């Protein structure tokens, strides 16, 4: 009985390591998506700029973030301020 359990130990170890790796991967992906999403205030203030400059990119995508950053000088002042206040694209006027 002990010998049989001992032989199964490597399989169990591999399964545990794989499960832990899956949990870490999901957590990292969730964090990455959360970091890419703009807060509601930014979405509200930048809606027109999104459609004017970056509507070909999906909301929450890295490509959208890059587009908004590349167009930062062309964005409306209220959008620029909302991005700054939320901690995107410059120093925030709010303390975080």
- pLDDT, tens digit (0-9, with 9 covering 90-100), for 11-24: 655 556 555 555 44
Predicted pLDDT of residue 93: 45
Whether 60 is in a domain gets the answer yes
**Do 44 and 83 have their domain in common?**
yes
Q: Does the global pTM surpass 0.85?
A: no
Total structural domains in the chain?
A: 2
Quick one: 72 exposed, middle or buried, by C-beta within 10 A (0-12, 13-18, 19+)?
Answer: middle
**Do 81 and 50 have their domain in common?**
yes
Whether 96 is in a domain gets the answer no
Neighbours of 37 (CB within 10 A): 14
Predicted pLDDT of residue 88: 86
Whether 9 is in a domain gets the answer yes
pLDDT: is 32 or 6 the higher one?
6
Neighbours of 64 (CB within 10 A): 19
Query: What six digits make up the tokens of 22?
Result: 């899956």
Structural domain range at position 24:
1-36
**Cα angle 62, 66, 69; round to 5:** 140
**Whole-angstrom distance, CA of residue 87 vs CA of residue 39:** 10
Taking a C-beta distance cutoff of 8 angstroms, is the pair 81, 42 a contact? no
Considering the chain, what is the average pLDDT of its residues?
75
**Whole-angstrom distance, CA of residue 70 vs CA of residue 34:** 21
């Amino acid at each position: 009985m002990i010998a049989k359990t001992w032989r199964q130990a490597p399989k169990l170890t591999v399964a545990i390591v794989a499960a832990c790796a899956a949990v870490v991967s999901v957590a990292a992906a969730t964090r990455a998506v959360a970091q890419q999403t703009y807060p509601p205030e930014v979405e509200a203030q930048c809606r027109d700029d999104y459609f004017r400059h970056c509507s070909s990119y999906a909301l929450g995508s890295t490509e959208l973030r890059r587009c908004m950053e590349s167009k930062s000088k062309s964005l409306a002042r209220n959008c620029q301020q909302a991005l700054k206040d939320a901690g995107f694209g410059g120093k925030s006027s709010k303390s975080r």
